Amino acid sequence: KKIYFKNLKDIFDWMSKIFKQKVVICLHPTSNIFEYKDYFTNCIITKYETEKNISESSVVMFHESGSITDAIFKKKKIISLSTTIFGSYVSKRIELYRKRLNLVSIDLENNTMPEDQIFLKKLQESVKNYKYYIDNYLKSDNDCPGIDKIMKTIKIYF
């Protein structure tokens, strides 16, 4: 945990320097907020505000989370933080998102930061891949809104 937190802190400090703003950490509801607040003193730590913070952000960093779809739909720049610390299932999910979206990725175990200008250019370009991902992996029934699909399905059974 110490190594993981240290590597995250290094990345957050670097990101804060590049974007000239504080990093906001949106914790999973089961996470201990006090543990994070004690360690990440230069960050803003929140729980239960992920959707709001994604909407207000310019860049989103993540490991693997269903909430990342909010960032994709809102065409936010996304940085994938890859790690093997959570086991092979999560590692494969991180890699899947990275490949399908052609995301900029930082390996937490390697902990080497890319060159700033190249990194920023790749980050901007990655947003171009979201439309294909949305159309092929997130939308169902073409442009049929989810509520309409739910109503159609309910009507079949009643």
* Cα–Cα distance for residue pair 116/22, rounded to 1 Å: 17
Q: Residue 25 — φ and ψ, nearest 5°?
A: -100, 120
Closest CA to 5 of 19, 29, 25: 25
For the chain, percent of residues with pLDDT exceeding 90 = 37
Contact of 24 with 46, CB cutoff 8 Å: yes
Q: What is the per-residue pLDDT across 141-151, written as a single tens digit (0 to 9) for each?
A: 666 666 777 78
Q: What is the per-residue pLDDT across 39-52, written as a single tens digit (0 to 9) for each?
A: 999 999 999 999 99
CB proximity list for 125: less than 8 A, separation 6 or greater: none
* Cα–Cα distance for residue pair 16/149, rounded to 1 Å: 42
